[in-house]
Amino acid sequence: MHKIRFSIVIPAFNEEEKIENAVKSLLKLDYNRADFEIIVVDNASSDKTSERAKSAGADKVVVELTKGTNFAREKGRREASGEIIAFLDGDSEVSPDWLLKIEKDLSIKGVAAVSGPYDYGFTGFRKCLSDWSDRMVSKFVPQLLYFFFQRKAGVLIGGNFAGYASVFEKIGGLPAIKFWGDDAAIAMLISRKVGTVLFDMDLKIKSSARRFKKYGYFQLFYQYITTYMKIYFCKDYE
């Protein structure tokens, strides 16, 4: 029986306007189509997310009625059959070499998971600020936290990360967090129980800036930082 190399899991809640583009971008990957599967997890949507995902070319569409990103990701993880599981958001699009970059990063000794930044389509000052925060946070925050508190940390973007299926088994599956702190908890568990979480600035994908429009740039950044620190010190993720 042919062993699938990658399972790509997309949690989606009311993404009928975006999910087709996400799936279609995966169909343009520079990777043997027989070596990856696309799993969309409809997270109790009230629109046509499932239908649009199927028509776009998803291999499997399943439903998770408990709302929350990690609940949907975990459902997809349990449905996956690939050696490596990659996670993408329903409003995102990847470049053709996305899986090749992930594969290369995961071949580095000691690396248990890999993640990368979003391209929100910002220009000018906002683009500079976004690029700067990605570089500074991913490069220095885990090192500084370990230096001061002697507790390992990682930086991981929930809609753009991957790891071997065995890694997620070792951490007991994805932590049951609805949204805020979902990716931070995954990063802490992997970095503390398995190995390094590599943040690759070249593993960039396109994503919607809608959350910035809803909350505002600085308010959203503050929310992410404070939640990250709360998860960092939480004993549940040792």
pLDDT per residue as tens digits for the range 18-34 = 999 999 999 999 999 99
Please determine, for residue 217, whether its predicted confidence score (pLDDT) is greater than 80.
no
pTM for this predicted structure:
0.93
H or E element at residue 8: strand 6-12
Please determine, for residue 238, whether its predicted confidence score (pLDDT) is greater than 90.
no
Domain at 204, CATH number: 3.90.550.10
The span from the CA of 191 to the CA of 196, in Å, is: 5
Residue 216 in domain: yes
Residue 1 in domain: no
Residue 225 in domain: yes
pLDDT in tens, 71-115: 999 999 999 999 999 999 999 999 999 999 999 999 999 999 999
Cα Rg of the chain, angstroms = 17
Residue 131 in domain: yes
Residue 97 in domain: yes
Alpha-carbon distances of 233 from 15, 149, 172, 238, rounded to whole Å: 33, 9, 19, 9
% the chain with pLDDT above 70? 99
Q: What is residue 1's predicted lDDT score, i.e. its pLDDT?
A: 59
Alpha-carbon distances of 8 from 49, 79, 158, 183, 192, rounded to whole Å: 17, 11, 13, 16, 24
| Count of domains for the chain | 1
Q: Could you tell me which of 116, 211, 208, 123 has the C-alpha nearest to residue 155?
A: 116
The span from the CA of 180 to the CA of 158, in Å, is: 10
Q: Sheet with 92-93: list strands edge to edge.
A: 92-93, 205-207, 118-119
Residue 57 in domain: yes
Range of the domain at 103: 6-237
Coil, strand, or helix at residue 181?
coil
